Amino acid sequence: MLPVDLPLEELKQYRPAQTKEPDFDSFWQRTLDEALAQPLNADLHRIADYPVPEVEVFQASFDGWRGGRSAAWYLRPRDVRADGSLPALVFYHGYSGNKGHAYQYLQWALQGFAVLAVDVRGQSGESSDFGQYEGGHVSGWMTKGILDPEQYYYRGVYMDCVRAAELVAAQPEVDRECMGAAGVSQGGGLTLAAVALSKRFSLAMPDVPYLCHYRRALLMAQQGPYLEFATYFKGYPEREEPAFRTLSYFDNLNLADRIHCPVLMSVGLQDLICPPSSIYSVYNRIAREKQMGVFPYHGHEVIAQHVTEQIRWANRYLRRLDL
φ/ψ of 261, rounded to 5, equals -130, 165
Displacement of CA 144 from its chain's centroid (Å): 18
Q: Could you tell me if 100 and 123 are in contact, meaning their C-beta atoms sit under 8 angstroms apart?
A: no
Pick the catalytic residue: 198, 271, 277, 281?
Answer: 271
What is residue 2's predicted lDDT score, i.e. its pLDDT? 67
Pick the catalytic residue: 93, 137, 298, 300?
Answer: 300
Q: Tell whether pTM > 0.75.
A: yes
161-208 pLDDT, tens digit per residue, is 999 999 999 999 999 999 999 999 999 999 999 999 999 999 999 999
Pick the catalytic residue: 70, 185, 198, 278?
Answer: 185
Say if residue 11's pLDDT is above 80. yes
200-250 pLDDT, tens digit per residue, is 999 999 999 999 999 999 999 999 999 999 999 999 999 999 999 999 999
Q: Could you tell me if 119 and 61 are in contact, meaning their C-beta atoms sit under 8 angstroms apart?
A: no
What is residue 323's predicted lDDT score, i.e. its pLDDT? 64
Average pLDDT, integer, range 70-96: 96
How many residues comprise the chain? 323
Domains of the chain, CATH where assigned: 8-317 (3.40.50.1820)
The beta strands (E) that lie in the chain are given as 43-46, 55-63, 69-77, 86-92, 114-118, 174-184, 203-207, 263-268, 290-295
The number of helices, as runs of H, and strands, as runs of E, in the chain is 11, 9
276-289 pLDDT, tens digit per residue, is 999 999 999 999 99
Decide if 185 is catalytic. Answer: yes
